[in-house]
Amino acid sequence: MHTILVTGGAGYIGSHTVKRLLDAGYKVIVADDLSTGHASAVDKRAVFYQLDVRDNQAFGNVLDQEQVEAVLHCAGKIVVSESVKEPLKYFHHNVSGLNEVLKVVAEKGIKKFMFSSTASIYGNNCFNIKAVETTQVAPTNPYAASKHIGEQMIHWVSERYQMNYVIFRYFNVAGAEMDASNGLRTENPTHLVPSINLTLLGKRPVFEIFGDDYQTADGTCIRDYIHVCDLARAHQLGMDYLFNGGQSTVFNLGTEQGYSVKQVADTAERITGIPLNVKISERRSGDPDFVLANAGKARERLDWVPEHSLEEIIQSDFHWRKQF
């Protein structure tokens, strides 16, 4: 049984991935300071340490004690609009934090590393074109820039210390466990699908569409929405790839289907039967017009195909939120 440590494993993507790794037979260690994560989200089969992964000694002790063979780095800050307002906060957590993790991973001789990156590093360079992994990167906000820097750091550290890595560039992750046992637990989420569902459930007075003057058919941003459980399965397949001798590489993770903000809102109204109170507001800084994946590489090398539809993404998140 191989042992994997997941930083940020009490967060949204981290906790779903932890479950999937455990189901696949891995031993999983979670390291999370709970600044944004939730201990209740961590699968009880995992070994949990509440710590800041930037604490070199504490993090190194866990790697030694648990004989960790691979690290999945999910910890970090992820809100685009916040990154525009507080860029230094994002470089501190996402760049300096990763530097501390890599320093200890290199010192301990760990040779397998996985990183949560983002498709937003492509900026507007995939306008009306599905982004491939070689599409030129052009971050339009500090969050995306911090992830691009992180990718470069991992590449050069791997060159120096003979570490193999998988970097996943996520497109727009949403949804919850289909049995409503876990989902996005952020108190005031800014993500599209939770924002729509919170409004449909009467927990917010209005759903805001930030800009309807983008260069798209209906004027609202187009994104590629991927179910969090499909994303978690990709991480498990990525770990299988590394443990089977896979070489360092980057994968896009998306469905290759694009939906505008208005299309997602209309779909939510249709499947719930609840009218949505919508307000058009000004654009948010840093939002590209169009972001869509070409996930052929993950399909070919990992045998990964997303299984969940947009309707299932919306519905699973709706049922998760309906409990509270």
pLDDT digits (tens, 9 = 90+) for 4-44: 999 999 999 999 999 999 999 999 999 999 999 999 999 99
For residue 288, the model assigns a pLDDT of 80
For residue 66, the model assigns a pLDDT of 98
Q: Hey, is 227 helix, strand or coil?
A: strand
Is the CB of residue 93 less than 8 Å from the CB of residue 33?
Answer: no
- Sign, Cα dihedral of 192, 193, 199, 204: negative
Edge-to-edge strands, sheet with 3-7: 47-50, 27-32, 3-7, 70-73, 112-118, 164-170, 249-253
For residue 323, the model assigns a pLDDT of 94
> Mean of the pLDDT values across residues 55-71?
98
Q: In angstroms, rounded to a whole number, what is the distance separating the alpha carbons of residues 305 and 111?
A: 27
Supply φ then ψ for residue 60, to 5 degrees.
-65, -40
Angle at CA of residue 166, ends 165 and 171, nearest 5°? 150
Q: Which of 59, 98, 107 is nearest to 75 (CA)?
A: 98
Residue extents of the structural domains in the chain: 3-174+225-253
pLDDT at 149 over 80: yes
For residue 124, the model assigns a pLDDT of 80
pLDDT at 128 over 80: no
Quick one: 3-174+225-253 is in which CATH superfamily?
NAD(P)-binding Rossmann-like Domain (3.40.50.720)
For residue 315, the model assigns a pLDDT of 98
Is the CB of residue 193 less than 8 Å from the CB of residue 200?
Answer: no
Supply φ then ψ for residue 131, to 5 degrees.
-70, 130
Rounded to the nearest 10°, the torsion over CA 249, 253, 256, 261 is: -140
Task: Give 103's pLDDT tier (boundaries 50, 70, 90).
Answer: very high
For residue 58, the model assigns a pLDDT of 97
For residue 65, the model assigns a pLDDT of 98
Q: Mean pLDDT over all residues of the chain?
A: 95
Q: Hey, is 170 helix, strand or coil?
A: strand
Task: Give 286's pLDDT tier (boundaries 50, 70, 90).
Answer: confident
Helical spans, DSSP H, in the chain: 12-23, 56-65, 80-85, 87-91, 97-107, 142-161, 192-200, 228-243, 261-272, 296-302, 310-322
Catalytic residue annotation: 143
Element (H, E) at 112: strand 112-118
pLDDT at 161 over 80: yes
Q: Which of 296, 302, 169 is nearest to 242 (CA)?
A: 302
For residue 290, the model assigns a pLDDT of 86
For residue 129, the model assigns a pLDDT of 84
For residue 285, the model assigns a pLDDT of 79
Strand partners, 5: 29, 71
Which region holds residue 70: left if phi is over 0, alpha if psi is between -120 and 50, else beta? beta
